[in-house]
Amino acid sequence: MPGVNTYNDAYQQQSADVGYAILQAGVQGYLDDTTIAAATSADDLIATVNAAVVAPGAESLSQRNSIARALKVGQALGDLSDARVQGATTPVTLAELTWVTNDPSYATGHLGVNLIP
């Protein structure tokens, strides 16, 4: 299921950026299958990202903050409503709740631009 389709096209790119941030969180170790399956809301995911201990070299305060902000944006857009978060089990299934799947680069494994300020 892609991102919520009740908002205009301008928000679809923001939604895709949220999806890319989720994929980055999975690759870097901020979120994993266990923490996503246990989450009941976007706030749970944000708390997990903020508390995550990641591998040396993967840690970046700016990346951690960007991922947390992206999750908040996804919550505000409706892509990461409580019901949607509760249905996700992996970083990929969580990311696919956004418009990231409509970006042609998604199929290549590209992790996006990480530009949510």
pLDDT tens-digit map of 49-79: 999 988 777 667 888 999 999 999 999 999 9
Neighbours of 77 (CB within 10 A): 20
Q: Are 69 and 95 in contact (CB under 8 A)?
A: no
What length does the chain have? 117
Domain residues of the chain, as ranges? 9-102
Rounded to the nearest 5 percent, the helix, strand and coil shares of the chain are 60, 0, 40
Proportion of the chain above pLDDT 70, given as a percent: 85
pLDDT band at 96 (very low <50, low <70, confident <90, very high): very high
